[in-house]
Structure 1
């Protein structure tokens, strides 16, 4: 059975501040989004601090942590937080998990297990804990749990995984309730869905049972040129951190991205932005323009099988105005023309 169309927005304390996350969540709810996600990276802005106020400040929208790592925060503590957020919100909380960055974890002297292993163990353990059970003896949860490992006031929670690599995506299909793959370019979602589907099939699950979000870079504004320039700036600044293999697999030129990154490092941001804008392919890492252009680009993804579009930074010259514009002019059309 085909899933209904889901639309979400990803916000961050870096852009809004911890207090501003509440206003961002209320804005997303009023704009008609189904979900709003706030990031929380070790050594990054404290997104997790705003989750409670985001949930208490809203009444309908689901609020997600995107994502927590089970290394710097123990799975037991994650299960406690998730259960508490579920109780206070009437089950509107979504738990996003990710492996975390080995580089950043190393800054704290942490030496965890391999990314896929630690993420899988966290999913399995947290599901048991939030259902009031001990993970002891449960396949895939790790062999270090005691039978007394139970939390008080457990409450089940949907578990999503922030995944990009094929092994992590396949594991997500086996164990998680949803996935948050960053799709650069947007068509990357098709490959992600194939890899998640392979894992789901091995576990006897159907893709319809999973909520797979196409996490997009989006820039929208009533001034379409300004929106495209903002996305170009975002791409320029991240051009050196993108996977070479992923670029090649999607027909993009790694050398073009490397040259753009060097321009940024040399302090010539304008030249880097112009490089992205004049490239025949680079701006295609995200979706950008006015409402009509964004609708057209999103429609192509939906027609090809995407059932959840997740809009993320840079959003627009004014992030709150961009979310409101998406809600007023884009979401109604997508739901009317492509919703089930």
Structure 2
């Protein structure tokens, strides 16, 4: 059985000034990854990733997800390339449709999110590869654009989505798939199959998020958290209990196809840094011993 990468999800309901301590604690605790979000209208995923990368030396930082409607393809390429050159091998950029209601609020909602994501991803990948790109699509238009400072090594580009066509597109165009945060192992298994239908092959990565809590009243806290993300308690979403309980839940997601799992603390977690240390020192060794 493959041991998944274990990380922590930095939920943007926390104030930006809390990120530094969380990132450095995650690295000190031995976690593999830190995942930052770009939810409207809370925090910039790229700005958060840049800060976390600068404050750490080893930690891999993923962005899940940058909404394609919000971001110019050329500017996204410039920003990703800058971080990839400055912190080689440690950045995982992810792109997606964005929440459509939020895109409407921002005035950037499009008629065909799938078309936009295809055009954006295709052009972005070519730019990051150092190519000169000219394209005139329905949404993405570039005229002889080439980065002066493309990444010095390939940058993995992951896609996110929910519906079957989006999952298939991730399998077709992405190096990995970023899934929503309130899924069961069966949900993950189905999403992986949809990505494979789109063409995902060997080496395709899948990122899942696990809502989790430990300590007193852990199950009650998870049961209160899960409905905030569109699911009901008792449906197999989330994990509560000791290190073994969390390791078992992470292992179930890995067995369903996840290659990386980020733990999302509940909103009422009283000691986020202590929780991060618990993950690195108690849960991670159990995963390695599977």
TM-score, scaled to structure 2: 0.89
CA contact (8 A) 2:186 2:256 kept: no
CA contact (8 A) 1:136 1:149 kept: yes
- 1:329 paired with 2:282, answer yes
Question: How many pairs were matched up?
Answer: 286
Residue matched to 1:166: 164
Residue matched to 1:55: 53
Q: Which whole-Å deviations, capped at 9, do the CAs of 1:125-160 have from their partners, x for residues lacking one? A: 11111111133259x8977332x1122211142111
**Distance of 2:169 and 2:7 partners within structure 1:** 23
Residue matched to 2:147: 151
* Alignment gaps of 5+ in structure 2: none
Q: Which of 207, 212, 216 does residue 218 from structure 1 map onto? A: 212
* Alignment gaps of 5+ in structure 1: 243-256, 258-275
| 1:303 CA displacement | 4.0
Pair 1:65–1:143, CA change in 2 (3 A) = closer
CA contact (8 A) 2:251 2:287 kept: yes
CA contact (8 A) 1:124 1:141 kept: no
CA contact (8 A) 1:13 1:20 kept: no
RMSD: 2.4
In proportion to residue count, which structure has more helix? 1
CA contact (8 A) 2:132 2:145 kept: yes
CA contact (8 A) 1:234 1:314 kept: yes
Pair 1:141–1:190, CA change in 2 (3 A) = farther
CA contact (8 A) 1:170 1:197 kept: yes
**Distance of 2:101 and 2:140 partners within structure 1:** 26
Give secondary structure in 2 for the equivalent of 1:111: coil
Residue matched to 2:220: 229
Residue matched to 1:80: 78
CA contact (8 A) 2:210 2:261 kept: yes
Written as runs of structure 1 = structure 2, the 5 A alignment for 1:189-228 is 189-200=188-199, 206=201, 208-219=202-213, 221=214, 223=215, 225-228=216-219
Written as runs of structure 1 = structure 2, the 5 A alignment for 1:1-340 is 5-15=4-14, 17-136=15-134, 144-146=141-143, 148-155=144-151, 156-182=154-180, 183-200=182-199, 206=201, 208-219=202-213, 221=214, 223=215, 225-238=216-229, 241-242=230-231, 257=232, 276=233, 281-282=234-235, 284-314=236-266, 316-337=269-290
Pair 1:301–1:102, CA change in 2 (3 A) = closer
Pair 1:80–1:168, CA change in 2 (3 A) = same
Give secondary structure in 2 for the equivalent of 1:179: strand
TM-score, scaled to structure 1: 0.77
Residue matched to 1:254: none
Greater Rg by CA:
1
Pair 1:322–1:141, CA change in 2 (3 A) = farther
CA contact (8 A) 2:212 2:263 kept: yes
